[in-house]
Amino acid sequence: MSEQTKLLTLSQAANYLGCNPETVRRHAQAGKIPAAKLGRKWVFIEQDLAQFLRNQYSTPESVVQVVDNNEESSLCQSISETTSGGQNSLHQTETEYNALLGLKTDNTR
């Protein structure tokens, strides 16, 4: 690693991110935060955490240009919403679950 690469412990990374160490550990374990586990300790690269934070910023697509008839323009922040795809039937969910587990099923109901 270069001289500029700074390694952080779990508590240092939590302080850097302004989070509780336990929250940082859970996110690292889930792969949400870039980290490596060496033995029993988590290690973070400061540059990776900075990039992680940058990736959390609002995306340019969420900013919409609003043009008024008076030829004034302003930026308007949109809200990113996601909608669910609806409800799956119990039979469909059961079939998908069995297919993932490789279970043989009787398709007659």
Q: Higher pLDDT residue, 58 or 42?
A: 42
Q: Say if CB 24 and CB 7 are below 8 A apart.
A: no
Mean pLDDT of the chain: 77
Distances (CA, A) of 97 to 2, 41, 84, 85, 93: 47, 36, 19, 18, 6
Residue 68 has pLDDT above 60, yes or no: no
> What pLDDT, on the 0 to 100 scale, is given for residue 94?
74
Percent of the chain with pLDDT over 70: 61
